[in-house]
Structure 1
């Protein structure tokens, strides 16, 4: 890593130097105000100290391949026998039961009065103190093994339409507990029969899912909101989304927009938003700390709507979430959108949503819906964290590729056509 220190009069001067010397991928590590020059501690001038760094690329080491002796013939390793996970678990439990019975038969009577030395005591399990406890543990283990065997021998049997619906939702990455809950509600519907057709099953599922999501339906940007914050991990499309919404508000609602960015973690991020600002003829203010927000708001006081872009960080870390939360608090006429990409892993999206939901953020905007065929993560996140989906974006075109989230349209997309399943 190359690290370099700059002492300049203002931050824009530092950005220009960093960009020219370290490139657009440089990262600002620290900024602070210092005093330089002067005479005997007097007449010193204020300057800005900026520490920047960039990862240095290390060429891969080139080692010649080790020659193989001609007499050495390759022999494939012996393949171990293949067992299913259920067979391995059943065999392990049976081994424990056999070991317990063996020790019960072989242990001498005096072992009850004279304790076994610590070094000779078995470490793989806790030995019961009495014969009755041993018998009870053996009985419980036998019941567990029998239960596992029954589950393996007699899998859950569903009518063909219900099984097709189950397979469709699992393929869409809907959480299994949500799928089972949906199937149970369908089965408890008035007039339900195992002879229902696929069309009737799909219609019942559609009605139930719409009922689940309807309480979270919300409108887009309201007239009472003047400041709109966008938070979320890096690479989810916050900056492009801001440009889409700003253009949509300007063209359809005739609201004059302004941009504020605190995403100074990467140098190129400011340039991207500045490019959109120039195209849309929108003023842009750059802030480096919460103390500079009042100045930025003062500069944009004639704007009807202000879009604020925040730095994309690893928001699985709660520390970064609390830092961003401190930056966006304090305004009653503001709102905050959590931006998530549908191409992300469901587990990671769930952790990020949970961390932001703990700070009271309750609206989410999904991006990159055109880059995936799985939409179950929307249902999982909305129901798990009580978040209201506001918009869904589907491409790079500004401002066309964004639309308000519609529950009915989403459920149709999630279920697909029953005839195709």
Structure 2
């Protein structure tokens, strides 16, 4: 039998905590709403609002998206009730399911060829054509793909953990939106309400979303506001202008450049190094080498060594600044050296200090901070702040194919002030990586472009 209960608290977070305490992590959120509290007998005291959550156990839910849709709709109806322009039709403002994977492109009438001509970066087709023209290069790519799977054992608990993380992210996002939305969205016109809620649902920071909508309202005519396509086109241009990109790595013949990748554990630094190395060596014929300081994980060292053998690159394994300097001295005749560092937990002060010491004693030309888009915007900002000691000049954002939405691209770019250099969109080496492009990222944020 199902068990349905209602919890009330002074804040949404407190109500969610009550649900977790009383019903556990298997509880399904059925409804959330904000209700006015009792009026105080004292004339100078304000009544306190309360938050109410209805949750159940043993509820048969066919798909997780159904729960998300119901929860999102409840949150949007609450927001709609605080907007004067849409009080009479709050039900019609319910937020639809959105997914960057299923959303149609803004250029619906394009053929694949014209879309390829439009995109400023089309690496997969260009790279594949060049690879197939050279049979030796193509064979090495196949070796890379075969060996990659040896270092990716199947984890039976991964899928379960991902579902739990998705539920947690959804509840936290709902809590943040419910608490702050009435103050932010009181001046959103009815014509732009759906676009505004789409931005919030894609995890664009609420302040940034509100600023975008305000600028869109100020710079649009009444006819443009009524035309959803015209409004989205103007919004895409605004987002593109706010996204800051760094140019890709450009080796110069005869001038050695040392580029290091830093970041927390599990974000894909070693795989990203392999993708970059394969592209530079096999496709661009750059003279380059690899250095790894990741001596904490033997598997990571062996993985990079395997790639180096297939691509035919010199590789050095070092454990301290002195060995690092010696390795770089031995690679003085190369044009590019990529340095793979060990993943550091942002909360591990000792490891962060070791990284700071390494870059203080060894000359590094460029440092890129690698972060996974599967993390929340708040976590990504905290990571970027913690790794400032390494003086990164750009970001590489990984695992876009595993991220549910893309609004963090804009939020991260605005709040960290670090330009984005590369995006990785899958595990395939060397294909699933592309230089950051502001126009493409703007379409991804709005759910109007696909990764592949």
Q: TM-score range by the shorter chain?
A: 0.5 to 0.7
Q: Quick one: distance in 2 between partners of 1:405 and 1:297?
A: 28
- Residue 175 (1) aligns with residue 205 (2): yes
How far the C-alpha of 1:251 sits from its partner, in A, is 3.0
In the alignment, the residues of structure 1 paired with residue 438 and residue 209 of structure 2 have an alpha-carbon distance, to the nearest angstrom, of 18
| 1:271 and 2:302 matched | yes
Q: Secondary structure at the match of 1:314?
A: coil
Contact 2:324/2:362 (<8 A) preserved: no
Q: Within the alignment, does 1:310 sit opposite 2:352 as a pair?
A: no
Secondary structure in structure 1 of the residue aligned to 2:260: strand
Map residues 292-303 of structure 1 onto 2, 5 A cutoff: 292-303=323-334
Q: Give the structure with the larger helix fraction.
A: 2
Secondary structure, aligned partner of 2:431: coil
TM-score, normalising length: structure 2: 0.59
Q: Is the 8 A contact 1:162 1:183 kept in 2?
A: yes
SS at match of 2:226: coil
2:235 corresponds in structure 1 to 205
Alignment partners' CA distance in 1, 2:347 and 2:199: 27
Query: Normalising to structure 1: TM-score of the pair?
Result: 0.63
CA gap 1:190/1:233 in 2 versus in 1, 3 angstroms: same
Deviation at 1:77, TM superposition (A): 8.7
Alpha-carbon shift at residue 362 of structure 1 (Å): 2.8
Provide the rounded CA distance (Å) in 2 between the counterparts of 1:339 and 1:400: 18
| Distance in 2 between residues matched to 1:380 and 1:244, nearest whole Å | 26
Equivalent pairs counted in the alignment come to 297
Q: Partner of 2:316: helix, strand, or coil?
A: strand
SS in 1 for 2:366: strand
- After TM superposition, list the pairs within 5 Å mapping 1:56-205 onto structure 2: 79=5, 85=11, 90-91=36-37, 94=39, 97-98=40-41, 139=44, 141-142=45-46, 154-155=82-83, 157=85, 158-192=188-222, 195-205=225-235
2:429 match: 398
SS at match of 1:229: strand
Aligned equivalent of 1:221: 249
Distance in structure 2 (CA, Å) of the matches to 1:261 and 1:161:
54
Tell which structure's C-alpha radius of gyration is larger: 1
Change (3 A) 1:257 1:193: same
Deviation at 1:389, TM superposition (A): 0.4
- Structure 1's unaligned 5+ residue stretches are 1-73, 102-137
* Deviation for aligned residue 1:170: 1.6
Gapped runs of 5+ residues in structure 2? 13-32, 52-77, 86-187
Residue in structure 2 matching 1:347, options 358, 375, 378: 378
RMSD: 3.2
CA distance in 2, matches of 1:242, 1:153: 50
Alpha-carbon distance, 1:417 to partner: 4.0
**Distance (whole Å) between structure 2 residues aligned to residue 330 and residue 78 of structure 1:** 61
Question: Are the aligned partners of 1:173 and 1:374 in contact in 2 as well (CA < 8 Å)?
Answer: yes
**Aligned pair 1:244/2:272, yes or no?**
no
How many angstroms apart in 1 are the aligned matches of 2:343 and 2:84? 44
Structure 2 Cα separation of the partners of residues 413 and 185 of structure 1? 20
**Aligned 8 A contact 1:159 1:194 in 2:** no
